[in-house]
Structure 1
Amino acid sequence: MTPPVDTVLFDIDGTLCEYRRPGNELLAASFEARDVTPFFGIEDYYARYDEFTATTDSADELRAACFAALAADRGYDPELGRAVAEAYTAERDHRNVRFLPGAREAVAALADEHRVGVVTNGAPAMQAQKLAGLDLDDAFEVVVHAGYDAPAKPDPEPFHRALDALDADPGSSVHVGNSLAADIAGARAAGLRSAWLDDGSVPDPEPDYVLDSMTDLASPPWRR
């Protein structure tokens, strides 16, 4: 018999919240601020983000290293990439985030009867600002910054670290996230059940639960 769920871990970006000002808009403004014709897109940045988590100590350092590498790959001076990254940092406000529909209510409802925590692929200072901007500073019993406190998701270690802090068992825990590659694969590797925020793609790996929106967690699917 499947044990009841007593612990819920959340991803942050794209699960609990999103930036009010999207990344593609910020990147365009950053190139404009440096009077440079854009030479890469926001998806290029996102695709290479994880390459730099182990060698940098903050989101700003990571972005600078990534933008420098993207510039060099395209035949530009890496320092030009760093200059664009500096402009991006000046434009970005990590507190300027908003809840995804139903996310605020989901956290509040689940916290009433579950241990709750966060496992996020994001720098500590940056993610702390987001939680503060959402007024969730004290909502979670543990926050693990994968890629900084532990290897990045989908490595199972950050999930195990969160569960150890909560004295929780993987078999009675669920991780909620939007990324199949990071959240769902990582939860599976760590022995947790997973709830995936559907983005319309074909799920691979297959999550245990599929959410049309975070509103679905008002009545958790593991109780239906």
Structure 2
Amino acid sequence: MTKTTEAVLFDVDHTICEYHRSTRKLLSLAFDRADVTPFFAVEEYWALYGEYVGESDSIDGLREQCFLELADQNGETRERGRQVAEAYNHVRDHTNVRFLDGAAEALDQLNDQYRLAAVTNGPEDAQATKLDALGVDQFETVVFAGFETPAKPHPAPFEKALAAVDTTPDNAVFVGNSLEADIAGAHAAGLEAAWLRDGAVPVDGPTPEYVLEEPADLLARPWETAD
């Protein structure tokens, strides 16, 4: 039976856009602003972030929970963790984002052929601000996983997006950059997945049906041309 693709679902961060200033740079600025000697690395924050998605109503609250936990783990006072979180809030600007090369054109062209939606791990206050700043209006719905539903890779946020665009997993494909959250989650929901690998080489884990080197590769619609 020939597959008919009706909808394309997208991750947001590092799939269609990124901050102008990296998390690593902002964390360094936050420690400087708080006048606190760095007591954790950005990799520790990234590792903990997923555990706290859904534990707060805002990105600032989520980040503070992470920083307090990291203070506990690294023998620092929770007050220092709170100070760094407050400083980070001052230097982070959710409007200071840019499209990845080729992403804006891909959204425009795919929107002419498919129904589009987004499934992103993050609170609405941060993620909607990014999309508004970029002028993204192609998504019929945005599911804020970890808040409206369990976080990716749970299948629930994918299922919610599919229902919103009135299609089934067999007739949709998901595009994302994380093997653990995006590709595994898409597969759990029964979707094919296109992985934006950004130079990464998978060692183990889920195997995506399609591999993209950059967002512009979406213009070839690989799910339509695959044997």
Shorter-chain TM range is over 0.9
CA deviations over 1:21-73 (Å, ceiling 9, x no partner): 11111101100111111111111111100111232111000000100110111
Alignment of structure 1 residues 113-192 onto 2, 5 Å: 113-136=113-136, 138-192=137-191
- State the alpha-carbon separation in 2 of the partners of residues 156 and 30 from structure 1: 35
- State the alpha-carbon separation in 1 of the partners of residues 10 and 54 from structure 2: 22
> Which AA in structure 1 matches 2:111?
A
- State the alpha-carbon separation in 1 of the partners of residues 205 and 184 from structure 2: 8
Tell me what 1:204 maps to: 205
- State the alpha-carbon separation in 2 of the partners of residues 40 and 213 from structure 1: 31
- State the alpha-carbon separation in 1 of the partners of residues 4 and 131 from structure 2: 28
> Which AA in structure 2 matches 1:206?
T
State the TM-score, normalizing by the size of structure 1.
0.97
State the TM-score, normalizing by the size of structure 2.
0.96
> Which AA in structure 2 matches 1:34?
A
> Which AA in structure 2 matches 1:8?
V
> Which AA in structure 1 matches 2:196?
L
CA deviations over 1:121-154 (Å, ceiling 9, x no partner): 0110100111011111x22101000000100000
Q: CA deviation at 1:2?
A: 3.9
Q: CA deviation at 1:204?
A: 2.6
- State the alpha-carbon separation in 1 of the partners of residues 185 and 107 from structure 2: 21
- State the alpha-carbon separation in 2 of the partners of residues 141 and 97 from structure 1: 21
* Unaligned runs of at least 5 residues, structure 1: none
> Which AA in structure 1 matches 2:217?
D
- Provide the secondary structure at the position in 2 that maps to 1:40: coil
- State the alpha-carbon separation in 1 of the partners of residues 45 and 21 from structure 2: 16
- Provide the secondary structure at the position in 1 that maps to 2:139: coil
Q: CA deviation at 1:120?
A: 0.2
Tell me what 2:22 maps to: 22
- State the alpha-carbon separation in 1 of the partners of residues 138 and 80 from structure 2: 40
| Root-mean-square deviation over aligned CA pairs | 0.9
Following TM superposition, the consecutive aligned residue runs of length 4 or more in structure 1 with deviations greater than 2 angstroms are none
Q: CA deviation at 1:6?
A: 0.8
- State the alpha-carbon separation in 2 of the partners of residues 13 and 2 from structure 1: 32
